[in-house]
Chains A and B, each alone.
Chain A
Amino acid sequence: MNEAEDRSAHEETAGDRWVGGLIEHRRLDAPVRVDALVGRAMARVRVEGHAPAAIPFAPRARRVDWRTPLAAAASIAVVAGVAFLASPRPASAGQLLRAAQAAEAAPGDRRYLIELEFPSRGDGRPAPRASGTFDVRDERHMRLELAMSGGRTTVRAVGGNDSWSTESAGGEVRMTGDARWPRFIETPEGDLLIDRLDALLGDVGAFYSIARCDGDGEMRLCATRVDRGFRGPERITLTLDPSTKRVRRADLAFGDPPREGERPHDRERPRDGERPRDDGPPPVHGMRSDGPPPPPPGAPGPHGPRPGRRPEPTRIVITQGDVPPGGFAEGWFAPPVRN
């Protein structure tokens, strides 16, 4: 192929991909979803907090006329009015969620105790369970230790630029240079949703409807998933510490497995004529960003054959744990040293 033909082929592919992108965008990104995505991203921006060094959006030169002081006075009146109205009322669900997100994003070591329950395999044996700890310093320092009911243990961590995992069977995998923590972690039992709580709360703000559901003297938020395209629990109940707004307990309940014919949100689809997905083995690069590639078509799931998605726990309970005095030891998040 000569250079001109090469260029023409690239142009054709680019046009093909662009139209494919537009079709997908038209089909999947309804305005309410786009708003939710922007809201989620801006929630992270606001949690991150620091303003850029210089704001390049210089205010436009404008004349000061009689309207300016009036507008300022009106703004002050509105703010004062809102404050007056808001102060005697309990915080709204949205306000509480934002406060909880900010509290969970604050720097510092924290430990969460994790309890997981997987769907029963339907063979008469009890449903697999797992328990462990999830230690978090920041988004680049996290460590998950889980003991499965079958006796297997697994440790997965990201420490700076190293991401690694070990298994009780002796296997060790290091993924140096890729410190991205996946939303879903692959285990033989299924995909685990283990992520920083502030990230989880960001998702709640974007993809769930929330309401206060205080009870038993506890401050609680109840969230129900409204974006069917978002892969996550069906319902989340958060119990907050009334003074710090930190999450004391998060109860994540997953819904029914995907129905036959329902496509999981995060499964790679064919997008153009040049690199379609076939019914054969998944392509070498077909790994998902937030989890493992789907099992072979027709692979039995816990509820019979299910296309695409691996099983998820039916329930995950996360509770605040105690951090060792003085914080996590140095090297706690680093890969184990081989002798």
Chain B
Amino acid sequence: MTDASDVFAILVREHADRLLAYLRATVPPSSVDDLFQETVLVAWRRLGDYDRSRPFGAWLRGIARNIAMDHRSRLWRERPTDDAVLDGIDRRAAEHDRGDAEEFRARVARLDECVAALPEEYRDAIHLCYRNEMPVARVAREVGASVEAVKKRLQRARAMIAACMDQGGAIA
């Protein structure tokens, strides 16, 4: 027999990737697993408040946002991320609310080809920073550029990746 927790588990699994991507965009990597779990627990406790006319993913993300901000302000005694930035991240995440988990995974998988299609210096910066997990200063030393130049490359690379993903996988 299916009980409420089984239905809830199916919904959580369906939205888990999108929630994790959102958390990775908003909190440090060390907090992601804990906050994912806390979001699911709070969502379960508040399931009675969920308005079925709204996308479940958006509701879950709202809980995650509150928990993440609470966590950050408790931990750091400050609010390092501007609300306007969070709103912008929310809007980007919301573009995936209508689709299903498979569509989201397929879209994220396009990242690989978008990164591969980047100009070499941008691709190197992304690889060193994310795959090799180097601090920006070390990336700068590796590639023989200034820290500011590497930051700019990373920024431009991410903008190109975003555009590439919007266009279905081709760098303009």
Contact = CB atoms under 8 A, between A and B. Distances in A.
Contact of B48 (A17, A29, A37, A53): A53
- Chain B, interface size category, equals 35 or more
Nearest to A263: B133
Contacts of A272: 154-155, 158
B167 interface: no
Chain B interface secondary structure, helix, strand, loop or mixed? Answer: helix
A7 B108 CA distance: 27
Contact of A22 (B21, B33, B40): B21
B135 A38 contact: no
B26 A21 contact: yes
Interface stretch (A186-194, A237-245, A249-257, A273-281): A273-281
A19 B48 contact: no
A271 B3 CA distance: 40
Contacts of B154: 272-273
Interface in B92-147: 92-93, 108-109, 111-112, 115, 126, 129-131, 133, 135-138, 147
A51 B47 CA distance: 9
A165 B75 CA distance: 17
B82 A10 contact: yes
B84 interface: yes
A285 B23 CA distance: 17
Interface in A42-61: 42, 44-46, 48, 51-58
Contacts of A6: 84
Interface in B75-93: 75-76, 78, 80, 82, 84-89, 91-93
Q: Which 3 pairs between the two chains have the least Cβ-Cβ distance?
A: A14-B88, A21-B25, A276-B136
28 contacts: A10-B84, A13-B82, A15-B92, A16-B158, A17-B85, A17-B89, A18-B25, A20-B24, A20-B25, A21-B25, A26-B112, A27-B131, A29-B17, A29-B21, A34-B16, A37-B20, A40-B37, A51-B3, A51-B5, A52-B44, A52-B45, A53-B48, A56-B52, A265-B30, A270-B136, A272-B154, A289-B30, A289-B34
